[in-house]
Amino acid sequence: MFDFLHKYASPRNFYDFAGILIPWLAGVTVVLLAIGLYQGLFLAPPDYQQGQSVRIMFIHVPAAWMSMFVYMVLAGAGAVGLIWHLKLAEMTAAAAAPIGASFTFLALVTGSLWGKPMWGTWWAWDARLTSELILLFLYLGFMALQAAIDDPKRAARAGALLALIGVVNIPVIHFSVQWWNTLHQPASVSSIAKIGAPAIHPSLLWPLLIMAIAFTVFFAVVLLMRLRAEILHRERYTHWVAERIKS
C-alpha cells in the first residue's frame, strides 16, 4: 500500500492513473444520477406535509453533504501539503475549492427554493443557513487568497492555514439544528450510531442515498479532471509534459 501511495504521489504517475479512472467513474455517475433522479422525481411519493416540494431534497441534501465533505478533503489535502510538502496534495486542495464552492452555492439556492413554500421566505438568518453561507465565503476566500499570491508554494501554505482554521465551521453546520432553536428541520437521516432507524421513509431514503453516492462519484470525476489540468499547468516546463503534448 505504501509503495502504491508513493508511486502515485508523483504528479506524472497520477496524471496517467487519473486518465484511466475518469471514464469509468463518469459512467458510474451517469448511471447513478439517472437511477436517483428517476426514483426521486417520479417514483417517490409526495411527503404528507411538504407535498411535491420534498423532491428538492434529492438535490439539496446531497449538495449540502458534499459542501462539507469537499471542504474536509480540501483541508486534509492542505494539511498534507503543509506538513509533508507534497505537491499533489497542494494541487488537490486548489482543484477541490471551486467544486466545493459550487456544491455550497447549489445547497444554498435549493435551500431557498425549498424554504419559500415551507417557511414563507426565501432566506432567514437561521443558524444552519448562516453557517452554510460562511462555508461559501471560506471557499471563496481560499480561492481569492491563492489567486492573490504568485508563488504556488506560498499560496498553498496560506490557503492551507485558512482551510484548517475554517474547519471549525463544519461541526457548527452539522450540529446547528441541535445546538440552537432553528427553522431548519433536524437531520432526516440519523447518525451512524442510529442508522438502523432513519427518520425518513425508505421510499424517500433510497433515492436520497443513491443521489448522495452519485454526487460523491461526480465530485471524484470533476476533481480528477481538474487535477489533471492543474498538473499540466504546474508541470508545463517538464520533459514529460512536453512529451504528452507532442503525442
CA–CA gap between residue 188 and residue 205 (Å, rounded)? 9
Whole-number pLDDT of residue 27: 98
CA–CA gap between residue 162 and residue 145 (Å, rounded)? 9
Whole-number pLDDT of residue 189: 61
Whole-number pLDDT of residue 15: 94
Look up the pTM and report it: 0.92
Collect the ranges in the chain with pLDDT lower than 70: 1-2, 48, 179-199, 247
CA–CA gap between residue 73 and residue 224 (Å, rounded)? 13
The pLDDT tens digits for 134-175 are 999 999 999 999 999 999 999 999 999 999 999 999 999 988
Q: Which DSSP symbol is given to 185? A: P
Answer positive or negative: Cα dihedral of 128, 133, 137, 142: positive
Whole-number pLDDT of residue 105: 98
Whole-number pLDDT of residue 52: 81
Contacts (Cβ under 8 Å, ≥6 apart) of 247: none
Whole-number pLDDT of residue 125: 82
Taking every pair of Cα atoms in the chain, the longest distance, rounded to a whole number of angstroms, is: 62
Whole-number pLDDT of residue 51: 73
SS3 readout for 129-180:
HHHHHHHHHHHHHHHHHHHHCCCHHHHHHHHHHHHHHHCCHHHHHHHHHHHC
The pLDDT tens digits for 93-113 are 999 999 999 999 999 999 998
- The number of C-alpha atoms within 13 Å of 215 and in the hemisphere containing its C-beta is 27
CA–CA gap between residue 33 and residue 1 (Å, rounded)? 32
> Are 173 and 68 a contacting pair, CB within 8 Å?
yes
